[in-house]
Structure 1
Amino acid sequence: MPAPGASEVFQLLRDGQPRTRAELAQLTGLARSTVASRVDTLMRLGLVAPYGGAASTGGRPPSLFALNPGARVVIGADVGATHALVVVSDLSGAELASDEARINIADGPEAVLGWLIDTIRALLGRAGRAPAELAAIGIGLPGPVEHQTGRPMNPPIMPGWDRYDVPGRVQRAFDVPVLVDNDVNIMALGEQSAFWPDTSDFMFVKVATGIGAGIISGGALQRGAQGTAGDLGHVRVPRGGGVVCRCGNTGCLEALAGGPALARALNEHAGGSLATSQEVIDLVRSGDGTAIQAIRQAGRDIGDVLAACVNLINPSVIVIGGSLAQAGEHLLAGIREVIYRRSLPLATEHLRVVPSVAGARAGVRGAAVMAIDHVLSPESIAAASAP
């Protein structure tokens, strides 16, 4: 096997645990002189720094080294249909500055990305960081994204964005890697990294206007061949019948359990006044029995689809987020009811179905994590440390 280079040595320090050269030599099997050379390279890049002092076993105390999270910064941006949240984070994920605003994704990429670029410049200034210290930008968008290119692909609520070169537009202002993914994937990354870091088989289900899932299996986010993995909203459900979905098919989960579908179903009961997911939530919170039954049935419909997912990919945690998750236990009770009835006993023995903890900040956390993972990947470190 080839001897590990600076990138492999760095991965041992990435967890933030300080280690001595001797410990790194023991873990890698390299000579201490080789480890010292590679630590020096990482220090020159600013990614590793001395840390305190280790206890001496006789003679001069050994030096400790650890990740230097302040060496560079990244941007995480969660751009929704009507709202955007942007943060500057260090390499440990700690937020240094943030901003949010009402936007309209239908205004098109030039307007929205122009706003984003201006916001990034302002945030870097507020965080006291120069543009040269920016290492990468992660962006989440509310539609399907071809992850390899960062281009939205036929996004239903994003007119003018189809196949638009999002990374190229942002890189005209900032010459750094720009990574783009759909909103539910970055929500999965944000929730898992912050609150379930030791869980390697994980699903984040966003229940809002649409219904989708971010799937982490074996510790890696699963995007699928074209980036559409986890599109649960267009899976046919038993109760769907001939209900027409906006995708053109009938019986889709979204057409029964999405926010607009629930608003339409409750309109007659509510006097024709409901139009949004939030209005459905408000009716549920008021204690309206019909609305509570509707949200519980939506949970059962979602549970029908998730039961198949549990049998197929066997996650240990399913997190429910998105605007309709504000319905709380009414929605979760319906989901759990069907999952535990329809899934294999072994698959559900230790399965947890829980509400999101990160809430509205799950996406922006995940966008920052996506950028950090790229900056600190073995490939990026190897490229930076190459002679």
Structure 2
Amino acid sequence: MRMRTEEAAGHAILGNSGEILSLIATGTATSRSALLELSGLSRVTVTQRLNALIAAGLVRETERTVPSGGRPTRVLSVNERAGFVLVANIGETFIRLAAMDTEPSIIVESTIPFNAADGPQHVLEHLAREFDRLIARSRASHPFLFGLGISLPTPVDFKRGCVVGPSVLHGWDEFDIAGWMRERFGVPAYVENDVNLMTIHEHRQNYPHVDDMIFIKAGTGIGSGIVSGGRIFRGAQGAAGDIGHIQFESADPPLCRCGKFGCVEARAAGWAIARDLTKRGFKAENARDVVELVTRQNPEALMLLRAAGRVIGEVASDVVSILNPSLIVVGGTLARSGDFLLSGIRELVYQRCLPLATRDLQIVLAYPHKDSALFGAAYLAFYDIFSRQKVDELLARFAAPEGRSAARPSPPGTANVPSAS
């Protein structure tokens, strides 16, 4: 009876530890003194709640230390071995999947074929079965499933977790992907556009101190993500940043995949450049083929890519004039061509924008990373799950019988969860 009473008391303390866990997970407070200052709780209460989190295996003291006015104190961190998130990036013909810990870093990963014509129900069932395999491979070392995130190559209504058309995923419109996944796995599920997730990864991983930036993905399609005030900006329905379908008037506007004429994408995307190269007698089907021809110094490919850079630069100059970012990062397959694309973008931005908007503006290439959308999905999921508004739900799941069965390892390493944009 006494053991049951002590266990119940421990669970009660753990259940009240949400604020402490959120402060640690988001990196807002990484020491005991910082927890005291920011929580406003008494030293005894902070100690009790922190000890409960450590005993549960959710938090640990790392080997790193920070000055404390006396003896250095150890840095507190989420225990990266406590659990994992499942993430998937749905591409054109394949789906990349992974289980990631809270750093985040990949625990296990896999790839499965994808055909959008199979429809959402069939694809999600296949995806869920592969997630089951990743769970089985991850549980022994990382017992608790925190949640899951899915990246889609299409406009997404983030609040509702569904695709909104027109898009390359024909027949997926309005299907409740997030709800389907929540029902299947019983954990928080997030669905987001791939460009926004690439933006989140680029921001958190490489430019965490930049408050206002634009990420432009130049690949098979054209899109952008916006970071404003340090957070991803989605707009009212999640359509913010869709620069690929801004239309330019001309005498003979090209037809876009969306069914309209004159879109930026129809002029500058990888598929559009490949189309124009094919008309000139070159073998090119996609953005990778374009980059291959550029690498071989093909004059027509170089000319078309530079022209594409100027088209992207034209729309980017409007974005700069409206949002006044301090940084533009250009990624995607076409960005692998380096300055051939970037020079065209810079030319138009600096030519069209006022000096005040471009005085401190940097325009750079993204750090190459094939899994940036996967990592962005992990950042996004962890940020919401550990947020002050959601962390109590996490602790309730963790304290349930299936959560209590989790092991309590505390290996070397750190695992603060950087705030997602």
TM-score after normalising by structure 1? 0.88
Which letter maps to 2:205?
A
Which letter maps to 1:328?
G
Matching residue of 1:235: 246
Change (3 A) 1:303 1:240: farther
Match status 1:69 vs 2:80: yes
Matching residue of 1:321: 331
Matching residue of 2:156: 145
Matching residue of 2:262: 251
Change (3 A) 1:276 1:50: closer
8 Å Cα contact 2:214-2:226 kept in structure 1: yes
Change (3 A) 1:50 1:289: closer
Matching residue of 2:387: 377
Change (3 A) 1:337 1:12: same
Cα deviation for residue 58 of structure 1 reads: 12
Which letter maps to 1:220?
R
8 Å Cα contact 1:239-1:301 kept in structure 2: no
Match status 1:186 vs 2:204: no
8 Å Cα contact 1:322-1:359 kept in structure 2: no
Change (3 A) 1:303 1:331: same
1:166 counterpart (159, 174, 177): 177
1:357 counterpart (354, 361, 367): 367
Change (3 A) 1:129 1:78: farther
Q: Note the alpha carbon deviations across 1:209-231, whole angstroms, 9 max, x for none.
A: 32111111111111111111111
Change (3 A) 1:115 1:57: closer
Cα deviation for residue 52 of structure 1 reads: 5.3
Cα deviation for residue 44 of structure 1 reads: 5.8
Cα deviation for residue 316 of structure 1 reads: 1.9
Change (3 A) 1:293 1:19: closer
1:223 counterpart (226, 234, 241): 234
2:300 counterpart (290, 296, 305): 290
Quote the Cα distance in structure 1 between the aligned partners of 2:318 and 2:118: 38
Quote the Cα distance in structure 2 between the aligned partners of 1:109 and 1:124: 22
SS in 1 for 2:329: strand
Which range is displaced more, 78-87 or 178-187? 78-87
Quote the Cα distance in structure 2 between the aligned partners of 1:233 and 1:53: 45
Matching residue of 1:101: 112
Change (3 A) 1:39 1:260: same
Cα deviation for residue 57 of structure 1 reads: 9.7
Structure 1 unpaired stretches of 5+:
none
Which range is displaced more, 40-49 or 68-77? 40-49
8 Å Cα contact 2:22-2:391 kept in structure 1: no
1:25 counterpart (23, 29, 36): 36
1:309 counterpart (319, 332, 341): 319
8 Å Cα contact 2:82-2:142 kept in structure 1: no
Q: Which structure is higher in RCO with an 8 Å CA cutoff and minimum separation 6?
A: 2
TM-score after normalising by structure 2? 0.82
1:205 counterpart (191, 216, 235): 216
Match status 1:299 vs 2:309: yes
Q: Note the alpha carbon deviations across 1:202-254, whole angstroms, 9 max, x for none.
A: 22211123211111111111111111111101112366753333334332111
Matching residue of 1:331: 341
Change (3 A) 1:43 1:305: same
Change (3 A) 1:177 1:351: same
Which range is displaced more, 238-247 or 312-321? 238-247
8 Å Cα contact 1:15-1:67 kept in structure 2: no
Change (3 A) 1:44 1:284: same
Cα deviation for residue 380 of structure 1 reads: 1.4
1:341 counterpart (332, 347, 351): 351
SS in 1 for 2:363: strand
Quote the Cα distance in structure 1 between the aligned partners of 2:142 and 2:75: 30
SS in 2 for 1:216: strand
Match status 1:113 vs 2:86: no
SS in 2 for 1:291: helix
Cα deviation for residue 40 of structure 1 reads: 4.0
8 Å Cα contact 2:317-2:349 kept in structure 1: yes
Q: Percent identity?
A: 37
Which range is displaced more, 136-145 or 10-19? 10-19
Matching residue of 1:269: 280
SS in 2 for 1:284: helix
8 Å Cα contact 2:212-2:229 kept in structure 1: yes
Quote the Cα distance in structure 2 between the aligned partners of 1:338 and 1:39: 54
SS in 1 for 2:86: strand
Structure 2 unpaired stretches of 5+:
1-15, 400-421
Cα deviation for residue 53 of structure 1 reads: 9.4
Quote the Cα distance in structure 1 between the aligned partners of 2:29 and 2:38: 13
SS in 2 for 1:173: helix
Change (3 A) 1:131 1:28: closer
8 Å Cα contact 1:233-1:252 kept in structure 2: yes
Cα deviation for residue 129 of structure 1 reads: 4.1
Matching residue of 1:366: 376
Cα deviation for residue 385 of structure 1 reads: 5.2
Cα deviation for residue 31 of structure 1 reads: 2.3
Quote the Cα distance in structure 2 between the aligned partners of 1:138 and 1:106: 22
Change (3 A) 1:263 1:55: closer
Quote the Cα distance in structure 2 between the aligned partners of 1:106 and 1:240: 35
Cα deviation for residue 55 of structure 1 reads: 9.9
Matching residue of 1:35: 46
Which letter maps to 1:342?
R
Which letter maps to 2:90?
V
